[in-house]
Amino acid sequence: MSLFSFCKWMAEWTAQKMLIPIFEFQEGLFPPFTNPAGSIADWLGTDGGITTLAWLYAVNIAFAVGMTNLILVIHLERKIAARIQDRRGPMLSFRSFRELGEDLAGSAPSWKFKENYAGIGILQNLADGIKAIAKELIVPAKADKFLFTMGPIIFISSSVFLLVLFPLSDRFAASSAPAGLMVIMAAFSIAPIGVLTSGWASNNKYSMIGGMRSAAQLMSYEIPLLLSMAGVFLMAGSYDPVVIVEQQQASSWFFGIPIWNFIPQFIGFIVFMICILAEVERVPFDLPEAEAELVEGWTTEYSGIRYMFFLMAEYIRGFAGAAVATILFLGGWAGPWPIPPEIWFLTKVYLIIIFWIFIRWSVPRIRTDQILELGWKKLLPLSLINLLIVIFMVEIYPYFSEIVSLPEVF
């Protein structure tokens, strides 16, 4: 049963059992007056109404799954950082809640804890959220108020859009566009506008330098990113994530073991991983928000829930980037039978994210003068070489092997 058919069943059930009776009851409340509730009830009875309701449910389920994953990613980042750097907060955050309870109640609660409080650090997210909501939204006096408000909105909306775009498996998908991965890249490419406007509108040197660095970085890394993706698109002959994963499963190497795209297109895989790191602005490429030199870059002037939006959007983009890398190069949701495909997909995504977190706490940031050189002089030629190899594999070699009977190797 796919997600959409489940949602359709749920939509029919809720429409018949709950929504239509409620709207008809509302229609009967004030009979002399015309009431749109009756026409809404009629519309829910039709096929179009049920389908719309089912899409609403599907998108909401995908959104909820994505946000849950977001919380887990943030928790994972905090936890691994705490392990690497010996931080206390994420490991012991429940103790502060207990101390708060002691302060409020006047005495210690009666319930006992384990001595080391293991596994309770996920409440650090809750504490962070409460802190962010409780803080004041400060707008600098000489800032451009309109764009200062619009910047976070553009950034978070284009990032949340990403959550419903990638499928967790061929049955668990809220969106099934034939150009699926291009839609994801389009949603990725809206974000620089939000970054630039919020960096400019803060009316602050460091924010503006951060915004300009971000623009330079995102622009120069988008080209090798799309070129390394082009190799995969050429091999699968489609932009559809489902078709791409099926193609990776179908191309077997020996003994029926599927050969996923990161083996024949190893150069493309490396280029893609570096470029997606730059695209989601994680650590070797976090120049736009370099704490040491730019005081958090383009997010300096933001406070409270707006800063939380930036943080959240960055983690959403990281999760979506890891998901795209999994679909393109690591075989997506394919895996041995007893474990369901969604779990396989999330396992691969989380492996990539854990790899990124390890990079974050062990690798220094690259210099500003190196970043464009790396993008244009090294990654762009490498991605072109990868594209050339794929063109040879897909187009030229089969053609010549038909004419002069070469062995079938690819």
Partner 1 sequence: MALDLLVFWFLAGLILAAAWAVVNGNDIVHSVVWLSTVFLLTAGLFILAEAEFLAVIQVLVYVGAISVVIIFGIMLTKRTLKGGEDV
Site string for partner 1, 205-234 (x = CB under 8 A): x--x--xx--xx-xx--x------------
42 binds partner 1 (CB under 8 A): no
Task: Decide whether 91 or 225 has the Cβ nearer to partner 1.
Answer: 225
Task: Decide whether 83 or 205 has the Cβ nearer to partner 1.
Answer: 205
Residue 233 C-beta: closest distance to partner 1, Å: 13
Task: Decide whether 69 or 217 has the Cβ nearer to partner 1.
Answer: 217
Residue 31 C-beta: closest distance to partner 1, Å: 28
How many residues touch partner 1 under the rule CB under 8 A: the total is 33
> In the Cβ-directed half-sphere of 374, how many Cα atoms lie within 13 Å?
18
What type of residue is 401? S
Residue 221 C-beta: closest distance to partner 1, Å: 12
- Residue carrying structure tokens 């695209």: 279
Residue 200 C-beta: closest distance to partner 1, Å: 6
Residue 106 C-beta: closest distance to partner 1, Å: 52
Task: Decide whether 206 or 319 has the Cβ nearer to partner 1.
Answer: 206
Task: Decide whether 197 or 265 has the Cβ nearer to partner 1.
Answer: 197
Task: Decide whether 35 or 189 has the Cβ nearer to partner 1.
Answer: 189
Task: Decide whether 65 or 280 has the Cβ nearer to partner 1.
Answer: 280
Q: Which member of 142, 336, 362, 408 binds partner 1 (CB under 8 A)?
A: 142
Q: Which member of 10, 92, 139, 193 binds partner 1 (CB under 8 A)?
A: 193
As given in the structure block, the two tokens for residue 5 are: 């058919």
47 binds partner 1 (CB under 8 A): no
The three state secondary structure string of the chain is CCHHHHHHHHHHHHHHHHHHHHHHHHHCCCCCCCCHHHHHHHHHHCHHHHHHHHHHHHHHHHHHHHHHHHHHHHHHHHHHHHHHHCCCHHHHHHHHHHHHHHHHHCCCCCCCCCCCCCCCCCHHHHHHHHHHHHCCCCCCCCCCHHHHHHHHHHHHHHHHHHHCCCCCCCCCCCCCCCCHHHHHHHHHHHHHHHHHHHHHHCCCHHHHHHHHHHHHHHHHHHHHHHHHHHHHHHHHCCCCHHHHHHHHHHCECCCCCECCCCCCCHHHHHHHHHHHHHHCCCHHHCHHHCHHHHCCHHHCCCCHHHHHHHHHHHHHHHHHHHHHHHHHHCCCCCCCCCCCHHHHHHHHHHHHHHHHHHHHCCCCCCCHHHHHHHHHHHHHHHHHHHHHHHHHHHHHHHHHHHHHCCCCCC
Tell me the angle at which helices 304-329 and 145-163 cross, rounded to the nearest 10 degrees.
Answer: 30
Residue 182 C-beta: closest distance to partner 1, Å: 5
Nearest to 166, CA basis, from 175, 178, 156: 175
Site string for partner 1, 162-191 (x = CB under 8 A): ---------------xxx--xx-xxxxxx-
Q: Which stretch binds partner 1 (CB under 8 A): 102-110, 194-202, 329-337, 370-378?
A: 194-202
What type of residue is 198? S
Task: Decide whether 197 or 326 has the Cβ nearer to partner 1.
Answer: 197
Apex CA 243: angle with CA 237 and CA 54, to 5°?
A: 130
Residue 94 C-beta: closest distance to partner 1, Å: 43
Residue 50 C-beta: closest distance to partner 1, Å: 16
Task: Decide whether 42 or 144 has the Cβ nearer to partner 1.
Answer: 144
As given in the structure block, the two tokens for residue 129 are: 């959220």
Q: Which stretch binds partner 1 (CB under 8 A): 12-20, 58-66, 123-131, 203-211?
A: 203-211
Task: Decide whether 184 or 349 has the Cβ nearer to partner 1.
Answer: 184
Site string for partner 1, 102-141 (x = CB under 8 A): ----------------------------------------
Q: Which residues bind partner 1 (CB under 8 A)?
A: 142, 144, 146-147, 150, 177-179, 182-183, 185-190, 192-193, 196-197, 200-201, 203-205, 208, 211-212, 215-216, 218-219, 222
